Structure 1
Amino acid sequence: MSLSSLKPQVETILSNSDKTLDERLLSVCQLLDQEVSYYNWVGFYFKNGDKNELKLGPYVGEPTDHTIIPFGKGICGQVAVSNENFIVPDVAAQDNYIACSITVKAEIVVPLFVNGENVGQIDIDSNTPDPFTEEDERFLEYVCEQVAKLLA
């Protein structure tokens, strides 16, 4: 399955104004979790007001204790500072990794920008070693661009 084939479904979910923003984001998480076999935890983090921290938004997967992540801490916290995509092929090799589950082998985090400001990110954990490709990166950038339209 091509990730780009999911784009129309993402657009349909996000354009459903009968649902709240969180309901739409959760539906996107569910779609990605169901349709991409190596996406084992899919969620959004958003900047927590004026604080230099991220707050967990809608997600699908194992429950996490990491509902608040300080900027700079872990992969998500680093992306909040760097404003750049971060692909981790092997989480065991990362010094600044926050373990959510012992089954997680890899992670990808893509920032979400509104008017040039990093306001959040999509975070995906995989139980498969080194599964993420440039196709994943481009697709998740697209998802973030579509979500940003709702936040602008």
Structure 2
Amino acid sequence: MTEDRSEYLRRFTLIHECAHSILHRPYFSRCDNQLTLFELEDANDRSHAPLTAAMTSSYNGKGPRNFQSDHDWIEWQANSLASCLLMNKSSLSNLLEDYDLEDCSSLQKAVIVNQISDTYEVSYDAARVRFERFTRDYLNEGSLF
């Protein structure tokens, strides 16, 4: 495993931007001033919007997420898809099958999140969010992702 945690962030960011390309291509193709990672040969041809570059969010990372704009929602959607692509339900189920997810202590949760982070080479925060969503869905009769 890579010991350079910044590599984990770069990996997640790449998949996050790919998720924007999958989910939000029409949204970004309408934004003439949107920065892109790759430019089109014909600047007037918006039929195949280029992969978008990162944008900022109004979320400060503290407390419950407050979606104040369309942009907040699309960032959440890209993060969610990236998380599911990198840490899919089937693989995560196998990784966590030996844990009692209904009765985990805070310390055990931290150990599990560290294991997820190392296994999938994602940041601790990405692993924590995915673990929280996974256990919530798992304990509430499951979800597709």
Tell me if both proteins adopt one fold, taking TM over 0.5 as the criterion.
no
TM-score of the superposition, structure 2-length normalised?
A: 0.28
* Greater relative contact order structure (CA < 8 Å, 6+ sep): 2
Of Structure 1 and Structure 2, the greater helix share is in 2
Structure with max Cα Rg: 2
TM-score of the superposition, structure 1-length normalised?
A: 0.28
